[in-house]
């Protein structure tokens, strides 16, 4: 299992969801005790975007990790 902390804004949610949809494995997005499917635009918008979010995925994928780096918390 791989995890990465990211930050999203209302403007970058669509870009993130599109990157997650390119994966042929399950991707979750978590905030506190809430976990949503990262491929769901409505699910991602239901989270508090003003805080750090954790992406959890089970397979290593270079293209997805490169996309995640754009949202990574410094």
Mean local confidence (pLDDT), 49-60 = 96
The answer to whether the pTM exceeds 0.85 is yes
Burial of 17 (0-12, 13-18, 19+ CB in 10 A): buried
Q: Which residues pair with 30 in a beta bridge?
A: 35, 54
Tokens of 32: 């506190």
Q: Tell me the per-residue pLDDT of 3-35, one tens digit each, with 9 for 90 and over.
A: 999 999 999 999 999 999 999 999 999 999 999
How far apart are alpha carbons 49 and 22 in whole angstroms? 22
What does residue 31 show for φ and ψ, rounded to 5 degrees? -145, 120
Q: Which CATH architecture has domain 2-69?
A: 2-Layer Sandwich (3.30)
């Amino acid at each position: 299992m791989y995890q990465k902390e990211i930050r999203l804004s209302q403007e970058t949610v669509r870009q993130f969801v599109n990157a997650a949809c390119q994966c042929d494995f399950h991707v979750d997005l978590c905030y506190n005790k809430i976990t949503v499917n990262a491929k769901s635009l409505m699910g991602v918008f239901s989270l508090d975007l003003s805080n750090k979010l954790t992406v959890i995925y089970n397979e290593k994928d270079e293209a997805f990790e490169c996309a995640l780096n754009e949202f990574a918390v410094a």
